[in-house]
Amino acid sequence: MDAKIEEISDGVYMIDPCLFDSMGYIALYFITQPKRILFDVGPSVTAERVIHAIEGLGYKGEQIDYLFVSHVHVEHSGGISKIASWASNAKIIVSPASVRHLTDPSKMYQAYTSSYGRFASLIGDYQPLSQSSMPRVVSTLSELPLGDRRSRIIQCVGHAHHQVCLQLDGSLLGADILSTQFRINDQLLPTSTPPSFNYPKYTEDLDTALALNLDRLMVSHYGAFDNPTEIITKALDSLKWLRHQVESLLKEGLLADEVADTLLKGLNCTPPVDNEYAQIKAKLSLIGFINGVIKVRSEKV
């Protein structure tokens, strides 16, 4: 199976590497002008597809300038070792807190495999970045040198404490700042998978993105949107709605797991993804969110 490529605008491509041989799980972005930037590399199992997709557009590995790793969660970055040896000249942009995971991903990979059951074996392994690639890792930049284009690397730590996003002019490559993939009663389910979801920071990230007055938002789960203000506002409203639901159910005496199961009954996925995986990921997000709400409540007392 090949990756699916869509040109979103001049020289900006969305690459869906068809994880689990289906579309809709994860979107990577490839920017060709004025520099060639691959935003997230995807998991190891689809690394060859991503390489073929970019070569099919006429670019060789040596021509890639930047590999931007938004954060080290497995579906975003597990293929870094393979992609970095192909893109042999590329600088590897990560947050300072991500660097140690690239050299030793074992702890993070273990956490993934214990949460995702049979899907863990379908996402491939996570090879550490080779020592010879380490000099290309850059973790201190606040922008990318792109000539006339305005670029900014923004810490968005609500989803994961080490997540960085990339603003290019009026576009934000927002990784997991929000997700449009799972909806419950038409409300967006946040990207709140444990353990690192931080409710107040997540809200702050969305407020920051809203204040940028963007004309495009590209997220990993899933796709590019030309109505970012609407989507971000929807995500903020959904947070309030979901928090209200969670607090009501907790007040009824339900445990976190029971609250999650009650809410999951209204789950919808867009685009439709494998039901079993969707159930696992959505439940994890809910558990992370519920724990986030409980933490905020206990800090208030």
Enumerate binding residues for Zn ion (CB under 5 A). 73, 176
Q: How far is the CB of 176 from Zn ion (least distance, A)?
A: 4
Instruction: Pick the closer one to Zn ion by CB: 176 or 205.
Output: 176
39: three-class secondary structure by DSSP: strand
Angle between helices 275-300 and 228-251 (to 10 degrees): 70
Q: Where are the alpha helices (DSSP H) in the chain?
A: 47-56, 74-77, 80-86, 99-103, 106-116, 119-122, 199-211, 228-251, 256-264, 275-300
Nearer to Zn ion, 35 or 76 (CB): 76
Closer residue to Zn ion (CB): 73 or 183: 73
CB of 204 to Zn ion, least distance (A): 17
Measured from the CB atom, the residue of 36 and 73 that comes closer to Zn ion is 73
- Rounded Cα distance between 300 and 145, Å, is 43
Calculate the dihedral angle through the C-alpha atoms of 178, 119, 293, 100, rounding to the nearest 10 degrees: -80
Q: Which is nearer to Zn ion, 32 or 198 (CB)?
A: 198
CB of 213 to Zn ion, least distance (A): 25
SS3 state at 114: helix
Instruction: In angstroms, give the least distance from the CB of 57 to Zn ion.
Output: 26
Q: Which residue is nearest to Zn ion (CB)?
A: 73
Nearer to Zn ion, 114 or 213 (CB): 114
φ, ψ for residue 66 (rounded to 5)?
Answer: -135, 135
Residues pairing with 182 in the sheet:
269
Give min distance, CB of 71 to Zn ion, in A: 6
Whichever of 74 and 90 has its CB closer to Zn ion, that residue is: 74
Strand order in the sheet with 137-138: 4-9, 12-16, 28-31, 37-39, 66-68, 91-93, 137-138
* Minimum separation from the CB atom of position 159 to Zn ion (A): 6
Q: How far is the CB of 69 from Zn ion (least distance, A)?
A: 11
Here the tokens at position 175 are 């990784």
How far apart CA 243 and CA 90 sit, in angstroms, is 42
Contact 35, 66 (CB under 8 A): yes
